[in-house]
Each structure stands twice: as structure tokens, then as C-alpha cells.
């Protein structure tokens, strides 16, 4: 049996960008933190291009030159700075120089001479739009538009005279705008009432339309075309009961790839526009049966790259020939010498909850020879978000637990995305604890499974999933053998008071407001019911977390410890919202495994 360190050394290659000469750039974590690498041929020897202790967060090839933009923060603080890398010279040039501000990449102009980005330099609670030359730096950037909310950019128009701007009021309420660079005028192109999403927006080939995934007049996301002259929408593809959750469109050729999220599994369609909403399909890429995304077309539209993984395939970059669908796996991220044949696949199950609703989940049992005669222990692993979804992608940590004889159960409780807008709103504000009832129903379902030991069930989760762990331990203390909370919310009031200023309104839209819902938020905060916790608790956090401040961990540990319950705390000074550096992950999860071995 391989040890934990081997499983955590299984590598990932992702975030691909295709360059002018067919070179593929991508991020890979071979050194322990994601760095920028390139390849000139499939399965060749990749060349490492950046050499930092901190994680690189994205890379984007210039459309005209052998150079890349990339982003990097410090210690997980999410204050991303932008850089330009000249491939042939190997030289890195800073593009921004404001370390106390966040910079969201907005893309290269088609000529490759300018970049755009959104940043909260002027006021930490709002984002403005900037444009600057490729060889300019810092204050050289032109402030094009002063925002009053959470703005981001979705690319330059085909003529490079406009930018596509997105505004996020909440996870389920978004807007699109067109910013005219010459005048600075901002056109609101998606006025609407209520909550509507306009996701994954892309410019149409002539710059006269925008293609996006929207739930306008629909419970699920559809691929639609917005005519900028008339303001009219037209459906390009209706995903039926499933979301069309992403589109990549090459605005020079009209070639596109879009994805449907079918019970968590990705289905990709490739095609070419033949009219405003008509398109001809091309052969489907041959990818692992799991998840895929991050499509990047090459400058000529002849090829595109994406990353794909499944529960038995670690994440790698594939390049697809557009016309033929020929699929080549370009990267060979290491599995650390662990045979992929030993990785376990989940079963997609549905279990009944308190209101007779069917809750989807992935249930994975260890190999037969790893199972105890009296039943296996189970880790109930709850995703964050809450506007997110557990999907069948690769996890080395999950595979390690399976190799140790644990089963893993991953529910998509109410509030998860992927199952329609109505399902996602079932946990809003005053209905928050209904999602915790779904976790109780999961344990009841597990207890009826002959392979499971109902006395050895663990609650584990990160971020909002960490709140769910704490809430499950306080609401249903008799169900759990132990809990593992990573960067979780212990008190909604202190969380909302201390989260990043740019995030507060966004989070209040989901959880409730400090002004209007404070009493309710106090009533559901696990910290205020910590005396009910009866199971041993492990708490992980990053000291630089801008989303869920580290005080959340410190509060719950102090309170549970005062009750005489076994509790362990591990805080990393060089991490943020999650544990990203390999040496920290090894230390963290070695401690978690030792903790579970003692208590479960």
C-alpha cells in the first residue's frame, strides 16, 4: 500500500493556453506549487517556465507573440499581480505593481499590444476597468471605467474597440455590459428583474452579438445569443434538464465548444456557426469519463486545448483537432508511481431526504480486500460554495482514504448547482438548515448499507463545507465519530463582518444580511451551539484567508476545547482559503489521517 505522501504527489496539469506557433502553455504542480510550463509536441518533455515558491494562478498566450501573461498571489492572499513572460528570452516583466490590490485578468487585445484587467486599487470594495500596453507597468495603466460593484472582464471585441464586462451581484444574479474604450461609455445589455445568470460570455464573430449561458426564463442554463443591436435573445442550444454550463467561441472563425453538466459529468459538443444560432457539429473529443473544461482555441482555430480528469485519471491537458476530433493527451502528469488501475470509481446514487426529495451523491467503496467484515468507516465529504457541486474529477486524497479502507460519500445537497435554479435556492437564508437535514438523511441511507459501519461515520468539508461539518456536528451529534473542518465558517456574523470587503454584499445575498438577518444568522451559527458537539474535531485553516478569516477557526477550537471534547487545530501562516502547497498538504493531511486513525 502506498503512503499518503505518494497520493498527494499525484500531479495535475491544467489551465492550458495555445500559442501562435502551436505551443501549449499550462499550469502543473510538479514542484509542489502550480508553475507555468510549455510543450511543443504531445507527450514531450515539458519545459518549466516559472520558478516561484508561490502558486501561479493562470496563464494566457499572446495572440501574436511568443509571450504569456500570468498571475500570482502571495501566501494564498488572492491579491493577484500580473506578469508578462517572454518565452525565448525567459524574462519575466511585472505588469502590475499594486500588491495590496486584486487584479482579474481580462485578456489580450487581438493585436497583442494591449491587455485589460479589473482591479480594486481605488477602493477595496469595488472593481474598476483598466487597459495598458504590453510593455507598460503599474501606474502606466489607463483607468477606463470606475465601477461601483464586483466587475470582471470577458474579453476584447473583434475590432478591439470594446470590452465585455460582467458584474456579479451574487452567484445567481449577474449582468453584462459593453464598455466603449474611446468614450468610456458603458452599455447595460442585460437589464432584468430578479436573479438571472449570464455566464461564460463570448463575443460573436462580427462583434454584433454575445453568446452566453443563461437561465433567463429557464430553470437551467441554456446557450443563447444576444443581438446587441436589438437586445433580443435567441436560444442556440437548450440543455433540457441539465445546464449548458460553459462555452468557448473563437470570434474570428465562429468555431465553438460548449459543455453540458449531466449529473456532474461533462458532455462536450464541438461545432461551427453557420448562422446566428445555427451550427454544424464536429466529432466529439475522446476524453476520460469525468469532467473537462478550460477550452483554449489556437490562433487559427484549427485546434483547441482543454484539461480533463476522472476519478481514475488525474488531470491532464489534451489537444483536439477541430475538424477530425482527433484527441491527443499532451501532458503526462505523474501518478507518483501509483497504478491508475488501483484508483476507485464512484457509483452515482440518489437517496431520499426529509421532504421526499431525491438527493444525488457519489458513493465509493474501497476494494473488497480493504473492507472490514463488520462494515467500513465512511467519510461524508461535503463540498463548499454553497453554489457549487461535487463532480467526478480526480482527488489523490480521496483515493488515499479509499486505499486505507474508508468509503467516501459525496452528496450534492440542496443548494448545490448543476440541478437547476430552483434546487439551488432551496437552502437560501431561512432555509439554510434544510441542507444540513440532507446530510442527516445521507447518514440514515448509509446506515442501511450492509457494507457500512454506522458507528464510524466522519463529517469532512472545506469552506462552506466546513460550516456544514460544524452544523452537522451540532445539530445531530449522535451520528458522528469525528469531524474535519477546513477553512470553515463557525459564526456567520463574524464571517460577514470580516470577509473581504469586495465579497460582503455577494455573500449576504446568499446567507442573509447583517442588518436584516443578524438574529437568524446567530441562531444557525455552529459556534453558538458548540456545547452540543460530542465528536472529536480537527480544524485546518490558512492564516491569510481573505474569504473565511482565520478567526473562524480560532473561535470554534477555543469553544469546543472548553467543553472537554478532543480538538486539534493546524493553521498555516503561508496559506489562504485552502491548503495549496505540497509540503503543507502533506503535513496537514498526515495529521488528519493520524487523528482519524485514533478516533475512528
Q: Which three cell numbers stand for residue 557?
A: 477550537
- Cα distances from 568 to residues 107, 238, 545, 599, in angstroms, run 44, 49, 19, 12
Cα(502)–Cα(26) distance, integer angstroms:
29
C-alpha span between 404 and 365 (Å, rounded): 11
Residues with Cβ within 8 Å of 415's Cβ and at least 6 positions away in sequence, in order, are 385, 386, 387, 423, 424, 425, 426, 427, 428, 435
pLDDT in tens, 215-244: 999 999 999 999 999 999 999 999 899 999
Question: Mind listing the domains of the chain with CATH numbers?
Answer: 54-196 (2.120.10.30), 340-599 (3.40.50.1820)
pLDDT of residue 506: 67
Beta partners for 164? Answer: 178
Residues listed for the chain: 600
What are 347's strand-pairing partners?
A: 363
Q: What is the pTM of this model?
A: 0.93
Which H or E run contains 39?
Answer: strand 35-39
- Give every residue of the chain whose pLDDT is below 70, as ranges: 502, 506
8 A C-beta contact, residue 29 and residue 360 = no
Confidence at residue 77, expressed as pLDDT on a 0 to 100 scale = 86
Q: Output the CA torsion sign for 531, 536, 541, 546.
A: negative
Query: How high does pLDDT run on average in the chain?
Result: 94
> What pLDDT was estimated at residue 91?
96
**How many CA atoms lie within 13 Å of 253's alpha carbon, on the beta-carbon side?**
19
Amino acid at each position: 500500500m502506498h503512503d499518503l505522501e505518494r497520493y498527494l504527489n499525484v500531479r495535475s496539469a491544467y489551465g492550458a493556453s495555445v500559442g501562435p506557433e502551436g505551443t501549449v502553455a499550462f499550469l502543473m504542480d510538479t514542484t509542489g506549487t502550480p508553475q507555468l510550463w510549455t510543450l511543443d509536441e504531445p507527450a514531450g518533455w515539458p519545459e518549466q517556465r516559472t520558478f516561484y515558491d508561490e502558486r501561479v494562478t493562470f496563464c494566457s498566450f499572446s495572440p501574436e507573440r511568443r509571450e504569456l501573461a500570468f498571475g500570482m498571489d502571495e501566501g494564498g492572499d488572492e491579491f493577484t499581480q500580473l506578469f508578462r513572460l517572454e518565452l525565448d528570452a525567459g524574462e519575466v516583466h511585472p505588469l502590475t505593481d499594486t500588491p495590496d490590490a486584486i487584479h482579474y485578468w481580462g485578456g489580450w487585445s487581438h493585436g497583442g499590444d494591449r491587455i485589460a484587467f479589473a482591479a480594486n486599487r481605488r477602493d477595496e470594495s469595488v472593481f474598476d476597468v483598466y487597459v495598458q500596453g504590453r510593455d507598460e507597468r503599474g501606474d502606466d495603466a489607463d483607468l477606463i471605467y470606475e465601477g461601483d460593484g464586483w466587475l470582471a472582464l470577458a474579453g476584447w471585441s473583434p475590432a478591439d474597440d470594446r470590452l465585455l464586462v460582467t458584474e456579479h451581484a451574487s452567484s445567481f444574479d449577474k449582468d453584462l455590459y459593453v464598455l466603449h474604450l474611446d468614450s468610456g461609455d458603458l452599455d447595460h445589455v442585460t437589464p432584468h428583474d430578479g436573479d438571472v445568470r449570464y455566464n461564460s460570455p463570448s463575443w460573436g464573430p462580427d462583434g454584433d452579438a454575445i453568446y452566453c449561458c443563461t437561465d433567463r426564463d429557464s430553470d437551467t442554463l441554456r446557450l443563447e445569443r444576444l443581438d446587441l443591436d436589438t437586445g433580443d435573445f435567441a436560444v442556440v442550444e437548450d440543455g433540457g434538464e441539465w445546464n449548458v454550463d460553459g462555452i468557448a467561441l473563437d470570434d474570428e472563425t465562429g468555431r465553438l465548444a460548449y459543455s453540458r453538466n449531466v449529473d456532474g459529468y461533462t458532455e462536450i459538443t464541438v461545432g461551427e456557426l453557420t448562422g446566428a444560432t445555427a451550427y454544424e457539429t464536429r466529432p466529439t473529443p475522446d476524453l476520460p469519463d469525468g469532467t473537462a473544461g478550460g477550452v483554449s482555441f489556437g490562433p487559427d482555430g484549427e485546434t483547441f486545448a482543454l484539461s480533463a480528469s476522472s476519478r481514475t485519471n488525474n488531470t491532464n491537458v489534451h489537444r483536439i483537432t477541430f475538424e477530425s476530433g482527433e484527441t491527443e493527451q499532451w501532458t503526462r502528469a505523474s501518478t507518483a508511481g501509483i497504478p491508475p488501475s488501483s484508483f476507485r470509481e464512484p457509483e452515482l446514487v440518489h437517496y431520499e431526504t426529509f421532504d421526499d426529495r431525491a438527493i444525488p451523491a457519489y458513493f465509493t467503496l474501497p476494494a473488497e480486500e480493504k473492507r472490514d467484515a463488520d462494515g467500513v468507516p465512511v467519510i461524508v465529504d461535503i463540498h463548499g460554495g454553497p453554489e457549487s457541486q461535487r463532480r467526478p474529477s480526480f482527488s489523490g486524497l480521496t483515493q488515499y482514504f479509499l486505499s486505507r479502507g474508508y468509503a467516501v460519500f459525496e452528496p450534492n445537497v440542496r443548494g448545490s448547482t448543476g440541478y437547476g435554479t430552483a434546487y439551488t435556492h432551496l437552502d437560501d437564508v431561512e432555509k439554510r438548515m434544510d441542507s444540513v437535514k440532507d446530510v442527516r438523511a445521507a447518514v440514515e441511507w448509509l446506515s442501511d448499507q450492509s457494507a457500512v459501519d454506522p458507528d464510524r461515520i466522519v463529517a469532512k468539508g472545506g469552506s462552506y463545507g466546513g460550516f456544514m461539518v460544524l452544523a452537522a456536528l451540532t445539530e445531530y451529534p449522535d451520528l458522528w465519530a469525528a469531524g474535519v473542518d477546513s477553512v470553515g465558517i463557525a459564526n456567520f456574523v463574524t464571517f460577514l463582518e470580516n470577509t473581504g470587503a469586495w465579497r460582503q454584499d455577494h455573500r449576504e445575498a446568499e446567507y442573509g444580511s447583517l442588518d436584516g438577518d443578524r438574529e437568524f444568522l446567530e441562531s444557525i451559527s455552529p459556534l453558538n451551539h458548540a456545547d452540543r458537539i460530542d465528536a472529536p474535531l480537527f480544524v485546518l485553516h490558512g492564516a491569510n484567508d481573505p474569504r473565511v478569516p482565520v478567526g473562524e477557526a480560532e473561535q470554534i477550537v477555543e469553544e469546543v476545547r472548553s467543553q472537554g471534547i478532543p480538538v486539534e487545530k493546524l493553521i498555516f501562516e503561508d496559506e489562504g482559503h485552502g491548503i495549496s502547497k505540497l509540503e503543507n498538504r502533506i503535513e496537514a493531511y498526515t495529521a488528519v489521517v493520524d487523528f482519524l486513525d485514533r478516533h475512528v
